[in-house]
Amino acid sequence: MIREPPPFFHRGPSPLARLTFFLLFAIGLMIADHRFHALATVRLSLSTLAQPVQEVASWPGQIASRFRDYFTSQEKLLAENRELKAKILEQSALSQEARLLRAEHEYLLGLAPGKSRYAEGGTIAEVVSAARNPFTRKIWVDKGLQHGIKAGMPVIDGTGVIGQVTSSSTFTSEVTLVTEKDQSVPVMILRNGQRAIAVGSGKEGAIDVPFVPLAADVQAGDVLVTSGIDGTYPPGLVVAQVTSVEKNAALPFTKIAAKPLAGVENHRFVLILPPAPTVARPEPRPEEAKKPARERGAAKARR
């Protein structure tokens, strides 16, 4: 390789002269641009050429900003989602409570005076517990001896008979439902007045009607109401509806099954009716009491 020796003398203008020249040249350009806008086209061209470079240079900042906004938005959305879920659960609970209150309000209106002809002397009670034994059909209400509740008083809802009070304490009472096994209610068929006895089967939603002759006019769909002959239930209360009628010539009685129409297992409030008034029966006269039964019957027939 051929190497030339460094020049012995430096040629060209001095640095101070160069600085002075460029300062004067820059001042002249500024004056020309300010007075005559001579560099507007040059400046526009340079800005156009520099635009891609500026965009490329701004990419890292934009990417970092987008990542930051993305994670911030995710956290914000998750927080809003949690808040909305909590509000939905709260509103759902309030909505269910409102539906329950509306249903209970309508139910209590059905028990109010003017809606039910038996509501004037009745006592509204709330069901506080039910029997733990699945084979026992009983409930307990929050009214007792302090409220004038006694054993034997009938219990109904807005539709019909639920059962009757079987025992009372100071503040609560036990109610035996009409579906309890061997719990009987004197009834009659609303369609034709045929009398019978409705007996609880011990199963939920099932009542039997035994000892009905084969010749009795009973049909599926017949409504059974209280006959009032026992002195416990007022007459005309809806008890059940016949679901099936089986007549077998080999058996002495018709096999009848029915379902209670009242909300035996449903409602939260019930209406306890006062005891039915005792009907005074006329006693026979002293002279008639001494006569044999046949003579008294003949005397009544002649009357």
* DSSP letters spanning 130-183: E-SSTT--EEEES--GGGT--TT-EEE-SSSEEEEEEEE-SS-EEEEETTSTT-
Give the model confidence (pLDDT) of 222-234 as tens digits. Answer: 999 998 888 888 8
Query: Which has more confidence, 23 or 64?
Result: 23
Give the model confidence (pLDDT) of 125-167 as tens digits. Answer: 888 888 777 778 889 999 999 989 999 999 988 788 999 999 9
* The pLDDT of residue 130: 85
Q: Quick one: which of 272, 273, 276, 269 has its CA closest to 109?
A: 269
Which runs of consecutive H residues, i.e. helices, occur in the chain? 15-36, 40-111, 286-289, 293-302
Which CATH superfamily groups domain 123-272? Rod shape-determining protein MreC, domain 1 (2.40.10.340)
Query: How is residue 272 written in tokens?
Result: 């306890």
Give the model confidence (pLDDT) of 171-181 as tens digits. Answer: 999 999 999 98
* The pLDDT of residue 225: 92
Query: How is residue 53 written in tokens?
Result: 């470079």
Q: Is pLDDT of 110 > 90? A: no
Q: Please state, rounded to an integer, the average pLDDT across all residues of the chain.
A: 79
Q: Is pLDDT of 203 > 90? A: no
Q: Is pLDDT of 261 > 50? A: yes
Maximum distance among all Cα pairs of the chain, rounded to whole angstroms = 175
Q: What is the mean pLDDT of residues 10-30?
A: 80
Query: Which has more confidence, 100 or 297?
Result: 100
Q: Is pLDDT of 281 > 70? A: no
Query: How far apart are the C-alpha atoms of 139 and 263, rounded to whole Å?
Result: 13
Please say whether the beta carbons of 116 and 158 come within 8 A: yes
Residue 114's pLDDT band (cuts 50, 70, 90): very low
Q: What is the mean pLDDT of residues 15-38?
A: 81
Query: How far apart are the C-alpha atoms of 243 and 237, rounded to whole Å?
Result: 18
Q: What is the mean pLDDT of residues 178-202?
A: 91
Residue 9's pLDDT band (cuts 50, 70, 90): low
Query: How far apart are the C-alpha atoms of 291 and 294, rounded to whole Å?
Result: 8
Helix (H, G, I), strand (E, B) or coil at 105: helix
* The pLDDT of residue 115: 45
Query: How far apart are the C-alpha atoms of 149 and 147, rounded to whole Å?
Result: 6
- Could you tell me the pTM of the whole model? 0.56
Query: Which has more confidence, 139 or 264?
Result: 139
* The pLDDT of residue 301: 45
* The pLDDT of residue 11: 62
